[in-house]
Amino acid sequence: MQQDPSWSSQAWGSGGENDSPPAPQPAQQAAPQPTTGQPAASQPQHQPAPQAQAAQQPAQHYGAPASCPPQPVFAAPQPAYAPAPQPAKKRGWIVALVAVVLAFLLIGGAMASCASVFSTAGSLAAVSSSGVYGDTIAVIDIDGTIQYDGSACSPEGLKTLLDQASDDPDIKGLVLRVNSGGGTATAGEEMAEYVKDFDKPVVVSSASMNASAAYEISSQADFIYTAKTTAIGSIGTALEVTDLSGLLEKLGISIDVIASADSKDSSYGYRPLSEEEQAYYQNMVDAINGTFIANVAEGRGMAEDEVRKLATGLTFTGMEAVENGLADDIGTREDAIAKAAELAGISDYDVYDMGESSYDLSGLLGLLSSEQSQDNHPLNAKEWDLHANTLS
């Protein structure tokens, strides 16, 4: 049977008139053709004309289904229905977590840097008197009981402030703003020594009270201002020992003290003092008060006998103090600052407060003890060293 050449060309392609059509192959063997995209080895390389290609499509669709590439047809819609790949989500969470951690690290680093800056600024402030530039008059407040508490009312606190003022070349003079009724005799003695040794002009501005140990400190200044109504002076020393033996007897309380010496418990208050003990403590008070008088006489440029006449333990008004030589003039805090600048030889200057007093329970107790000192009723010396707590 003779085959139609046109049908052969449409079904298998034709390389020319002399080419004989190849033997028909099963559909299973034609399947690899679309996969490789190349014609079979037995096919000629010459492609049919466009008309022949259009005619052969039905034969390829129905007669050779393997020649149609099914994979792209069914694979293309898969991404539309398939969920997003899981690894991408994991990487997204990791990136977010790393970003959060980095943010916290940056914030922590910034806070640490700020803290370091503030700490460094504070250190520099201590060295340079907190940014004092140019001629300056410094002011130190001595407000409260003279004692050992680390504040400006203590030897340690005042010495620290005085050293800072001395080391700062821009501070030309100092004003002590005093508002104190006194305190521990030894602390007052030490602080008076520090003020006397200070190498720049010192002027005192007296507030409502400048008495006892506080006045001993003030007496070492170059000039003392007082208000007319200031309670100033109270040169004297006191030591209080309370006798509770009568009360304990009424309450039926008996206390036995085992001591290494007969007078070791003399200040405990469980028994009255003997005559010998009273004489001993009187001599101690007189010796301490002699040091007080000598310091005031040296600081004020007065004779000790003259100061001793004023050492009645009582305060004077500011006006009386100016008359008897315990103060130099009536004036305010601003007058004291101007005087310090005059003594320092400067006319254009700034004013710098070197510290504020702090108030707490110990400060309130100190105020009570200072009032007792003013009324000649000093703190009981029980459980403390008598000499250290003798009040001036």
pLDDT tens for the chain, 392 residues long, are 444 444 444 444 444 444 444 444 444 444 444 444 444 444 444 444 444 444 444 444 434 444 444 444 434 444 444 455 555 445 666 777 777 777 777 777 666 555 544 443 443 344 444 567 899 999 999 999 999 999 999 999 999 999 999 999 999 999 999 999 999 999 999 999 999 999 999 999 999 999 999 999 999 999 999 999 999 999 999 999 999 999 999 999 999 999 999 999 999 999 999 999 999 999 999 999 999 999 999 999 999 999 999 999 999 999 999 999 999 999 999 999 999 999 999 999 999 999 754 444 444 444 444 444 433 333 333 333 444 456 77
128 assigned to active site: no
159 assigned to active site: no
CA 247 – CA 254 distance, rounded (Å) = 11
Give per-residue pLDDT as tens, 121-155: 443 344 444 567 899 999 999 999 999 999 999 99
CA 55 – CA 199 distance, rounded (Å) = 120
pLDDT at residue 49 in the model:
43
Q: What are phi and psi of 204, to 5 degrees?
A: -100, 135
Q: How many CB atoms lie within 10 A of CB 107?
A: 10
pLDDT at residue 131 in the model:
62
CA 322 – CA 176 distance, rounded (Å) = 18
pLDDT at residue 113 in the model:
54
* CB < 8 Å & 24+ apart, contacts of 289-297: 289/235, 289/236, 289/237, 289/392, 291/189, 292/185, 292/188, 292/189, 292/216, 292/235, 292/236, 292/237, 292/392, 293/235, 295/189, 295/192, 295/216, 295/219, 295/220, 296/215, 296/216, 296/219, 296/235, 296/326
Name the percent of the chain in helix, strand, coil, to the closest 5. Answer: 50, 15, 40
Q: What are phi and psi of 282, to 5 degrees?
A: -65, -40
pLDDT at residue 127 in the model:
40
pLDDT at residue 84 in the model:
52
Give per-residue pLDDT as tens, 27-42: 444 444 444 444 444 4
CA 14 – CA 44 distance, rounded (Å) = 7
183 DSSP β-pair partners: 146
pLDDT at residue 370 in the model:
44
CA 284 – CA 276 distance, rounded (Å) = 13
pLDDT at residue 183 in the model:
97
pLDDT at residue 105 in the model:
76
Distance of CA 124 to the CA centre of its chain: 14
Catalytic residue chosen out of the listed positions 89, 90, 228, 264: 264
Residue 16 φ/ψ region, left for φ over 0, alpha for ψ in the -120 to 50 degree band, beta for the rest: left
Catalytic residue chosen out of the listed positions 129, 154, 212, 392: 212
How wide is the angle at C-alpha 337 spanned by C-alphas 172 and 352, nearest 5°?
A: 60
Please provide the size of the chain in residues: 392
pLDDT at residue 246 in the model:
95
